[in-house]
Amino acid sequence: MIPAIAVLKAVAEKKYAGELSFSFEPDPALLDIPYVTFGSPVRAELAYEIFEDNSVEVRGTLTFTLRGLCSRCLAEAEREIRSEAEGVFVAGKPEDDEYVYRGGTVELSEFLRDSVMFALPQRLLCGTCEEE
């Protein structure tokens, strides 16, 4: 379950920062490595900060597992991926790389999708091939 950030409510309560910790199922369509699938949900540990102009900065780490066959030797392989994620959400007109939010609430789905895509390696290697 992906939580949302109720920005206007948080501002009204003067809670300008917070942390979010949750897991979600990544879209299998994001993964384009032959014989490899997500081996776990994505674990997200995020912190957010709300600024005076109501823009919201979200940053943290995403952790998940890839499982399948080594892209080089086809042996069974599994690897934990850990990646930094960072995004800025604005209520008005976004600049490059910014996300828009509406109705006073930041929805994280698109940001998480982009961040998972960014975190994905080009291939999965088994322990033996990785050492070579």
69 membership: H or E segment, kind and range: strand 56-69
Q: Round to whole Å and give the CA distance between 125 and 69.
A: 8
Q: Round to whole Å and give the CA distance between 80 and 59.
A: 20
Decide: is 126 part of the binding site for Zn ion (CB under 5 A).
Answer: yes
Decide: is 46 part of the binding site for Zn ion (CB under 5 A).
Answer: no
Decide: is 73 part of the binding site for Zn ion (CB under 5 A).
Answer: yes
Question: Shortest gap between Cβ of 129 and Zn ion (angstroms)?
Answer: 3
Which residue bears the tokens 């912190």? 47
Q: How many residues bind Zn ion (CB under 5 A)?
A: 6
Residue in 10, 50, 70, 106 binding Zn ion, rule: CB under 5 A: 70
Question: Shortest gap between Cβ of 78 and Zn ion (angstroms)?
Answer: 12
For 48-73, give one letter per residue: b (16+ CB within 10 A) or e.
bebeeebbbebebebbbebebbbbee
48-56, 69-77, 86-94, 115-123 -> range binding Zn ion (CB under 5 A): 69-77
Residues of this chain that interact with Zn ion (CB under 5 A) are 70, 72-73, 75, 126, 129
